[in-house]
Amino acid sequence: MSRFLMEPLTSAPCSEPSDPVPHTGHYRILDTDLCIETDSSDFLDAFDRDYAWFRVPAFEPSASLACRVRLKVPTSSPFIRIGGDTTSLEGHPNPASLAHQRVLERLYQSFEGFVLVHAAVVAHEEGAVVLAGPPGSGKTTLALALLERGFSLFSDDVCPVERATRLVHPFPRSAWVCPRPGLGKSPVPAESWKGRVGGRPLRATHLFYLGVEGVNSRSSTLEIGLKQDVESSLFSALSAIDADIRAEQIPGEASSFRITYPSGRGLSGRLRACLQEHRESVWNVFRDDEVTPDFGGAPGLTGLPLHEAAFRVLRDLKVGPGRAENEGGRSGRPGKLLLEVAELLNGTECYRLSPGGLDSMVQSVLEVIGGARDAREHPRTGSREVKK
């Protein structure tokens, strides 16, 4: 999943029919109690496809985050209401998809007690192993392979680190994997994973950042969904920022566009500000930074200093600082958030693992974890053949 880059858009209030909503789901996800009420069983089934592991009986007295989704009312336009904010879905080519995105945006922003790292997580008897990296770097594939070696699975995509305790919590959604090159990703439900799923929160003993220097380093990409007849004004504003910013329509998606811009020029903040100014014209914005590394060679393993590991993780947070933080909270500035991430990783052994054959990558991880265990059990003879 790409990181959300904009807060949910709020439109003028919609008329809400008073008839009861027949489909309701309750979920306890980290520190948030979520309730979804909808007139569409398909919508709730789609949410359960990823989050059924978190489903619970009805809350008493009430959920901390209440979402009401109406997609099938003939007398009014479709809408979603989250808390006190109502957003009209009228005119969107896929209202259910947009409503799903809005629920997830608000849900992820509600996790005030956690930092969400874009990473898969597996667990062993001594702690959690974090597999971080950009989309396409092989996190899920490596995590599922480690299940075959006795690890349990915490998550394939989200690593929630609790701020107060520095513990990693389980977040077992469905894993999305590509069965073979050229095909899109499909979900693997948590209940079908081999081995144990979830468990008690654990400290992170190791972090492996999967990636190669220079991959996709010359440009960055956003995917945006636009409302009708607004392309000209927005694209003119983007061109005024930098002439090398390019916009192209995504084939087969009438309202979706891909924005490509040079990396290393400090354009990300200016682009985000421009999109916020035009937020009434934009359905959604996602970062699209999937990499395509070569998995045919031999993997490389090098140690990562704590500050460098924190910087790499910071680039891949699942959601940026929330409203309170943007308004001057403890992590309102990137420098403060970097220090916080570094503190959360303090005591975690960090490495960069470049892509290679899956069996070799698994072996590299096992050797590091086994070497660390040997070093603790035999402090005079334990060693690790890894560059630091």
Domain boundary among 58, 81, 109: 109
Residues 271 and 298 in one domain: no
Q: How far apart are CA 35 and CA 110, in angstroms?
A: 13
What's the DSSP call for residue 192?
A: G
Residues 191 and 140 in one domain: yes
Number of domains in the chain: 3
Residues 278 and 346 in one domain: no
Domain that holds residue 122: 115-216+289-388
7 is a domain residue: no
13 is a domain residue: no
Q: How far apart are CA 192 and CA 176, in angstroms?
A: 13
Residue 190 has a pLDDT of 65
Quick one: pLDDT band at residue 321, thresholds 50, 70, 90? very low
Q: Is the dihedral of CA 353, 356, 358, 362 positive or negative?
A: negative
195-247 confidence digits (pLDDT tens): 678 789 999 999 999 976 544 457 788 888 887 777 778 888 888 998 899 88
Per-residue tokens: 250? 């995504």
Task: Give me the residues paired with residue 176 across strands.
Answer: 187
Residues 212 and 162 in one domain: yes
Quick one: pLDDT band at residue 325, thresholds 50, 70, 90? very low
Residues 303 and 184 in one domain: yes
Which residue matches tokens 């891909």? 258
3 is a domain residue: no
Average pLDDT over all residues of the chain: 80
Distances (CA, A) of 155 to 122, 139, 142, 218, 338: 7, 10, 12, 30, 23
Q: How far apart are CA 16 and CA 98, in angstroms?
A: 18
Q: How far apart are CA 370 and CA 349, in angstroms?
A: 13
**Spatial CA neighbour of 151 closest among 193, 122, 173, 126:** 122
Residues 266 and 323 in one domain: no
Residues 176 and 262 in one domain: no
Phi and psi (nearest 5°) for 296? Answer: -90, -15
